[in-house]
Amino acid sequence: MKKTFKILSILYLLFIVYYSIKPITSDSIISQYKLTDSGMIFHLAGYLVLSSVLFLSFSDRISIFRVFFLCLGLSVFLELTQIFIEYRNFNYFDIIGNVIGLFSFLCIFTLLNKFYPTLIKNN
């Protein structure tokens, strides 16, 4: 089960990378359901889920704070690469949405670990 979860978390990571660099077309789901100009809800949810599945998959090897900083680094890197991609735009609000998602992850898992310490085994 844990191996399957690791594979799914890596696939989700690749999904995030792909959708961060792919052209946005007017008929894409992101364009149709954009709740804000920057799509902050998608960024928040995307990085909340990404950090959660990575932590749950690799909690035996990596701490919650390492997951946070790895995802933060990925977020900033992907957003900065959009400066050099002509069909994408750099947006500070995208990074803010990602950071809010990552802080949500920290809060949720810190509270879960406090009240249910056997539920999440952390280093």
pLDDT tens per residue across span 10-37:
999 999 999 888 887 665 555 555 545 5
Q: Rounded mean pLDDT of the chain?
A: 85
Residue 122: inside a domain: no
Residue 88: inside a domain: yes
For residue 42, the enclosing domain spans: 2-20+38-115
Threshold 0.85, pTM exceeds: no
User: How many residues would you count in the chain?
Assistant: 123
Band of residue 123 on the pLDDT scale cut at 50, 70, 90: very low
